[in-house]
Amino acid sequence: MNIKDDFKLIFNSKSITIPEELTDEEKSKYAIKIYKRKKELHEKLGALGFREIVFKLERLKFKVMKKICPNFVVYYEKWCDFNTKRMIGKAKSSEEAELIELVNKISKLKTKKEWNKEENRNYHIDNKYPTQIINYLNWNKAIHQKNLKNDVVAISLLSLGTYYSLPLMLPLLIVSCASTIIDLECINLQEHSIAEYEICKPLLIKKENKEILKRKNEYLEAKKIVGEATLNNRKILTVEEVVSSIKTKEQAEEIKKWAMSMQNRNNLQNSKKKSLIK
């Protein structure tokens, strides 16, 4: 690739076209080659170094939040329920109300998962649903792109104010410049992560389908109990509510196995974190 193509990859990778005469397999290999080059370019622009800073700030954020507000998830869920109730009151149909309720449940579950794993969903792949990361990457990138446009306008106005020696213009200009640099680095990191995703996309899809099939055939009776009880109560169940829904010895055994598998998974994650800290 030439310098012109490299600039396209950095600023507008969608403008790179794949030759139509290639077979599907050749197109796939060509696309991966392009994204590998894109990944390399964003690394040269500092994506990996900035990612380390982001991860350090992420660990610090959770450490501080858990110390200052250990019941954050409880308050967050209460706010979600309040906001959901308000939105359902404005819903125009029962289908819309059910969708709002579903979004509420997913939001609470994902936030609880972030809190327990201490990993932001915008930067870490969910092992169960690895392909979902692309939605968060594009969403995050769009936010910083919007911020960048605002930064450009602010810098233009503040530069003019600084030229005419208006008070506080210079400090505000410095802050805006710093904000611009951060937004640029965030966009660069997101573009790098998107390139990584596209390179691994076939494997991630295969892994996700395998996980879905595996979960579909695991603990069917236990999931039926929890699913029905959750649907009836329209909220995330407590342990006591799950236990009260058990009707047979077989169901109790399956619930126990399911709970033990979840506990083992959590213990494994905690042991990995401890080894990283050491």
Q: What is the mean pLDDT of residues 12-33?
A: 82
The answer to whether 68 touches 91, Cβ cutoff 8 Å, is no
Q: Each residue of 89-103: b (16+ CB within 10 Å) or e?
A: eeeeeeeebeebbee
Mean pLDDT lowest among 7-21, 123-137, 220-234: 220-234
Q: What is the mean pLDDT of residues 217-244?
A: 55
What gap in Å lies between CA 85 and CA 80, rounded to an integer? 8
Confidence of residue 65 (pLDDT cuts 50, 70, 90): very high
Average pLDDT, the chain: 81
Q: What is the mean pLDDT of residues 80-96?
A: 89
| Cα–Cα nearest to 139, from 185, 82, 187 | 187
CA angle at 94 for the pair 92 and 100, rounded to the nearest 5°: 80
Query: How far apart, in Å, do the first and last CA atoms of the chain sit?
Result: 43
Confidence of residue 11 (pLDDT cuts 50, 70, 90): confident
| Residue carrying the six token digits 């599907």 | 24
Examine the pLDDT at 45 and tell me if it is beyond 80.
yes
What gap in Å lies between CA 68 and CA 74, rounded to an integer? 14
Q: What is the mean pLDDT of residues 221-241?
A: 53
Q: What pLDDT was estimated at residue 275?
A: 46
Examine the pLDDT at 229 and tell me if it is beyond 60.
no
Write the single-letter amino acid at 18: I
Examine the pLDDT at 184 and tell me if it is beyond 90.
yes
Q: Left, alpha or beta for 199 (phi > 0: left; psi -120 to 50: alpha)?
A: alpha
Number of neighbours of residue 106 by Cβ within 10 angstroms: 10
Please give the model's pTM, rounded to 2 decimal places. Answer: 0.72
Confidence of residue 23 (pLDDT cuts 50, 70, 90): confident
Q: What pLDDT was estimated at residue 121?
A: 86
pLDDT in tens, 233-257: 545 555 555 555 566 666 666 666 6
